[in-house]
Amino acid sequence: MQTRTLGKSGLEVSALGLGCMGLSYGYGPATDKDQAIALIRAAYERGVTFFDTAEVYGPFTNESLLGEALAPFRRHIKIATKFGFDFDPETGAQRGMNSRPEHIRQAVDDSLKRLNTDVIDLLYQHRVDPNVPIEEVAGAVKDLIAAGKVKHFGLSEAGAATIRRAHAVQPVTALQSEYSLWWREPEETILPTLEELGIGFVPFSPLGKGFLTGAIDANTAFDSTDFRNVVPRFSTAARQANRALVDLLGRIAQDRDVTPAQIALAWLLAQKPWIVPIPGTTKLHRLEENLGAANVALSKDDLANIERTVSTIEVTGDRYSAHLQQRVDR
């Protein structure tokens, strides 16, 4: 597996990371613990050195899962986790944002215990908290870096102005936001800002929450606990309309003797050398398919062809429901 450096920070990771959320949260019932550990370790054996989690995934169980799975080779890998929410002390249910400095310090101490480590390689603010100035957030993480508990600071789904303000207090190593062939908004202002400031980019949902794999169609039934049930872009009508994009990727992939998912990931890797996608999966064959994208080299002609053909497709449906959209793009 090739490696990449996230921005000017010196944080070197595998060109493709592993997004671990879906093993515990969001896409239906949690994966069996032993199977999840086996998948995480299989990723490491295949060259992945960058693993993404968050306290809210579960909540808490995903961090503990990674802590156990990665313990045998902790010094060879990089772990990214996130803070930014309050939880009910009795039920563990998420109950709103909280990026107050004192809360960040406690969240980091708790994450360190669950991750079974003495330092977090990359610590993201999970979502921008409108009630806490970003300068205070960056200052709190700066103190944690000075204390040796954190190595690098990241933001997630932050806007360009917020990134600049945070970066002025504590250099931001990476931004994690959604980016893929069916969500290209970051190209407008985010990517130019990151390039100017020397900040890496970690796209989540690089396969469109599974849609760009070609495995989802208008007839696909999601588990009742799968959050895609409330995502407008995954309504039956939207899935039917958006199938045109997957069909197009399929034709391009067939010409290259690869899969649509591999084309989608290779396209992301080709955009900038400081982009590190983190596709997630619960299946070994999908993991191997995704990692195979690192070996798919797209030429300038390939990229021009993809751009030309994809530009003819209009994606249908919002990427989030209204109440979730309020948490992003600040």
Residue 3: helix, strand or coil by DSSP? strand
Q: How far apart are CA 36 and CA 19, in angstroms?
A: 12
Q: How far apart are CA 174 and CA 172, in angstroms?
A: 6
Q: How far apart are CA 96 and CA 14, in angstroms?
A: 33
Q: How far apart are CA 249 and CA 263, in angstroms?
A: 7
> Cα-flanking dihedrals φ and ψ of residue 138, to 5°?
-60, -35
Alpha helices in the chain (DSSP H): 33-45, 61-70, 101-115, 134-146, 160-169, 190-197, 236-256, 260-271, 284-292, 300-310, 322-325
Among this protein's residues, is 179 annotated catalytic? no
Closest by Cα among 296, 287, 285 to 258: 296
> Cα-flanking dihedrals φ and ψ of residue 174, to 5°?
-150, 150
Residue type, 1: M
**Residue 146 neighbours by CB under 8 Å, 6+ apart:** none
Asked if 16 and 279 touch (Cβ cutoff 8 Å), the reply is yes
Pick the catalytic residue: 57, 124, 179, 320?
57
Residues catalogued as catalytic: 57
